[in-house]
Structure formats: structure tokens, C-alpha cells
Structure 1
Amino acid sequence: MPLEPLSLTVGQPLRVAVYNSISRAIRNGTYPLGSVLPSDAEFCAALGVSRPVVREAMLLLEEDRLISTRRGIGRFVSDAIPRIGFERVRGLELLLSESVGAITVGRVSHEVQPASDLLSQALALDPSAAVWTWESVLRRTGTELALTFEAVPAAGSAFSDPATDSMPEATALTRLLASVDPSYVSSTCDVSVGVLGDHRADALGVDPDMSALILTQRVSYRGAAVLFAKSVVLPEAGTISLQQSA
């Protein structure tokens, strides 16, 4: 099972490093499209990590449609490299408020970190580039409804200064839309269902095996990718309305 050595960088979760290693192996043809993947135990042995870490990485790979699981058979590389995107240009708190009322945003983290394989692809960045990230829990009257992870390039960002967090009560997308001309903003989207996993379940206070709606978004400004977001939304959030145009 030829894999690049696990690349560990300061500030990057181990699950992301495992994701990067397997993602690169898929993109460079080490694991051909449509082929069966090695077992979790084999990945653990090859990368020197635990089963929970591999499981978290596999959840992310499946969410991003790089792999799929066939019950009783195993995990397979997708038949085609998926297009990255999500189509809506509104902050998640505003979308959720339409069905359940006012939403509060609680910032979990705001930090600079190396771009993962997914982020470098989504934001058209050099693999060695850095990104500013925000992770936030969205609540309604104290009840956790969603967790959103957002990232922007650390250099050349549409934000005047991504190192600041001048609107901790809002998602980064809402902050971005408040600072630029929205007529130049566009977005693509992907909507799927997946399992939360340990990290996101801890932040939301629910079971890690719980299923949730996965919203993946890539936002562009004046034709350049400026923000990537992945959000998990619990059933308690109710209905989300997505507006599409031809």
C-alpha cells in the first residue's frame, strides 16, 4: 500500500493529515478511480495512527465524495473526482433562522493553519499555503443545531484582515458579505448526509454515530475563490430553503 509519509504540521489535526495523505493518493492515481481501498487496519499500520483517527478521516473523505462505502464489501474510490462546491450565498445562521427563529453563533476557534488537501483544491492555493479558519456552533435558545467550519486564504484574502475576528457573533460568510459588494459574489454547493464523527459530536454534545446534513460551500468574489465552508446541521434545525437560479 504505497502512501506518502504522513506530513504533520503544527496546528493541523491528525485526522486532516490522514485525510491529506489518502486524498493525494487518490488524486495522483495511487488508488485508481473505482478501486477498492485498503482496510482501516492497513491504513493504521501504514500511517502509524489509531482506528478512531482513520475513521474520522474516512468520514471526511466520504463526505467529500472521494470515496464510498458498500456495506459488507468495503470502501471504494469514487468513479470520478468530484467537483467541489455549494450553492447558496447566505450565512448559515440566516438560513436556519428562517425556520426556527433567531440563531446565535458561538465561536469555537479562530486560527491560522496549513491548508489541507481539500482547502488547497477548493481555494486554488499552493499546497504550502496557509489559511485562516473559523469554527462556530450555531444555537437556538441554548440548543445546538449546527457546527460550521470556514476557511479563507491567509494571503490575498477578500477580507481586509482575516487575522481579526471583528464579528464573533456571525459566521465568516456573513462577515464577508457585509464587507464586499454582494453583486460580485457567487457560490456553488453540495448537500449530502453523513455521520458526525468524534470531533464534531463533541462540539455539539451528541452521539458521534448520529447522522446529519452536510453542507459544503465554495464562495467566489469577482471570479476568485475566497471562502470554503463545511457545515453539519442536526435534524433539530428544521427545514433549510435553498434558492437556485438558471
Structure 2
Amino acid sequence: MPLEPLSLTVGQPLRVAVYNSISRAIRNGTYPLGSVLPSDAEFCTALGVSRPVVREAMLLLEEDRLISTRRGIGRFVSDAIPRIGLERVRGLELLLGESAGAIMVDRLSHEVQPASDLLSQALGLDPSAAVWTWESVLRRDGRELALTFEAVPAASSVLADPATDTLPEATALTRLLASVDPSHVSSACDVSVGVLGDHRATALGADPDTSALILTQRVSYRGATVLYAKDVILSAAGTISLLQSA
């Protein structure tokens, strides 16, 4: 049962590391579609973790539709791997509002700053460039559901003046879509599972070890990347549609 060694980062629960290891093995074909998975005990031995950790990872894999459980038989790899992405490009408040009611956007920060290595690479900028960033908490009925961090080039020609905030109760992506022809907008989105960590936990009023869905999105307009976003979504947000349409 060849598995990559667990890749652990500071503050990451073992269940998430086990999830990542098994998820990669499914996606790279180590465990073929429709095949039966090894037992929990075999995963414990292979990865050097306890059975409760493996069981928690299996719950996450099943939630993401990578595996299914047949009672009395075992766990199986799904017959088809869910494609990753968003059905259409829209602001996070609209995405979350589809499942269980309207979302309020509470802006925490809106500032210009030098682009970090990550942002300069994600947005295709010179390392000396500046970016406008927004950080917002999303709530429904006063309850914190998600935290979004968004960045656009300070010299953006799509958002004519990123310093303005004509829609203070909207995400930057919603502002962008309101200012351009949406037929020329496209998006690539990576989906992962992680934990909040201290900063995000403080903003969301949650425990730092709380697991969350993480969407990392790059939005392009006429072929150029114009916005980078990282969204951290709590399970209380409800159902989110994440199938990529053709």
C-alpha cells in the first residue's frame, strides 16, 4: 500500500494530513476508481497514526465524495472523482447565500500594501508592485460563517480605482463583476481542507483547530489574472456547489 509520507504543517491536525495523503493517492491512481480501500487498521500501520485519526480522515473524504462506505462490506473509492472548481464566477456572499439565506459582508480591512511573494506570483506582478487587499467576515443572522481575503493589483485597469469602495457591503469579486462584462471573466479554484489557525479563528470567533473548507481562487479577465482570493468557510455555512461546468 504505497502512500506518500504524511506532510505535517504547524497547527495542522493529523486527520487533515491523513486526508491529504489518501486524497492524493486516490487522485494519482494509487487507489483506482471503484476499488476497495485498505482497512482502517492497515492505514494506521502505513501512516503511523491511531484509528480515531483515520476514522476522522475517512469522514472528511466521504464528505468530499472521494469515497463511499458500504455497511458490512467496507470503504470504496468513488466511481468518479469530483471535478474541482466553481459552477460560475460569483462573489462568496452570493455563493453562500444560495443554500440557506442572505449573507452580510463585514469589511475588516481595505488597504494597499507591497505584494508578497505569493501575491506577486498569483497575480503575475513584479515583486516591487503594490496590491490592494480586502479582508471580510461573512455572516448569516449574526453568525460568522466565512472569512475572505482578496487582492488585486494596485494598478488594476479592471477595477478603475481599487481605492474606492462603492459597494462596502460586498466582496471585491462582486465589485469586479459589477464593473466588467462577466462573459470575459473566468476562474480557477483549488479546494482543500484545513484548520483556521489563530488569526482566522479570532476573526470568526472559533477555536484555532476548527476544520474549514478552503477555496483558493484566481480570477481572470480577458486572459489576465486580476484577482486572487482565499476563502475559509466553516461547516455551518451549509451546502456549497463546487462542480466545474464545461
TM tier, smaller: 0.5 to 0.7
Structure 1 contact 185–219 (Cα < 8 Å) conserved: yes
Tell me, in whole angstroms, the C-alpha distance in 1 between the residues paired with 2:220 and 2:158. 9
Matching residue's letter, 2:166: S
Looking at structure 2, the residues matched to 35 and 71 of structure 1 have their Cα atoms a distance apart, in angstroms, of 7
Q: CA deviation at 1:122?
A: 1.0
The 1-side partners of 2:244 and 2:161 are apart by: 31
Secondary structure of the residue aligned to 2:239 is coil
Aligned to 1:12: none
User: Partners of 2:127 and 2:221 in 1: how far apart?
Assistant: 21
Measure how far apart 1:155 and its partner are: 1.1
* Partner AA of 2:192 in structure 1: S
- C-alpha distance in 1, partners of 2:214/2:6? 24
Contact 2:103–2:138 (8 Å) recurs in 1: yes
1:177 maps to amino acid: L
Contact residue 86 and residue 218 of structure 1 kept, 8 A = no
**How does 1:69-80 map onto structure 2 within 5 Å?**
none
2:95 corresponding residue in structure 1: 95
For the pair 1:198 / 2:198, whether they are aligned, the reply is yes
Q: Which amino acid aligns with 1:165?
A: D
**What does 1:42-121 align with in structure 2 at a 5 Å threshold?**
55=10, 87=86, 88-121=88-121
CA positional deviation for 1:243: 4.5
Deviations 1:89-133 (A, max 9, x none): 110100111111010000000001111111111110011111000
Residues 124-175 of structure 1 show CA distances to partners (whole Å, capped at 9, x for unaligned) of 0011111000000000000000000000000134101001111110000001
Residue 136 of structure 1 corresponds to which residue in structure 2?
136
Residue matched to 2:147: 147
Q: Distance in 1 between matches of 2:193 and 2:123?
A: 23
8 Å Cα contact 1:56-1:198 kept in structure 2: no
Q: Secondary structure at the match of 1:173?
A: helix
Question: Residue 156 and residue 97 in structure 1: after superposition, are their counterparts in 2 closer, same or farther (change >3 A)?
Answer: closer
2:223 matches 1:223: yes
Deviations 1:169-206 (A, max 9, x none): 00000010001000100000111100110000000000
Q: How many pairs were matched up?
A: 178
Aligned partner letter, 1:133: T
Match of 2:161 in 1: 161
- 2: distance between equivalents of 1:233 and 1:124? 26
**Gaps in structure 1 of 5+ consecutive residues:** 1-33, 41-54, 74-84
SS in 1 for 2:174: helix
- Separation (CA, whole Å) in 2 of partners of 1:56 and 1:243: 29
Paired residue secondary structure (2:126) = coil
Unpaired segments ≥5 residues, structure 2: 25-45, 50-83
What TM-score comes out, normalization by structure 2 length?
A: 0.66
The amino acid across from 2:100 in the alignment is V
Q: Distance in 1 between matches of 2:48 and 2:195?
A: 18
Q: Secondary structure at the match of 1:118?
A: helix
Aligned identity (percent) is 75
Rounded Cα–Cα distance in structure 1 between residues aligned with 2:11 and 2:116: 15
The alpha-carbon distance between structure 1 residues 99 and 199, as it changes in their structure 2 partners (threshold 3 A), is same
Q: Superposition RMSD on alpha carbons, in Å?
A: 2.7
Asked if structure 2 preserves the Cα contact closer than 8 Å seen for 1:86 and 1:216, the reply is no
Taking the aligned partners of 1:121 and 1:56, their CA distance within structure 2 comes to 25
Q: What is the distance in 2 between the residues matched to 1:145 and 1:214?
A: 12
Cα distance in 2 between the residues matched to 1:157 and 1:151 = 14
How far apart in 1 are the matches of 2:110 and 2:176? Answer: 15
Question: 2:244 matched to which residue of 1?
Answer: 244
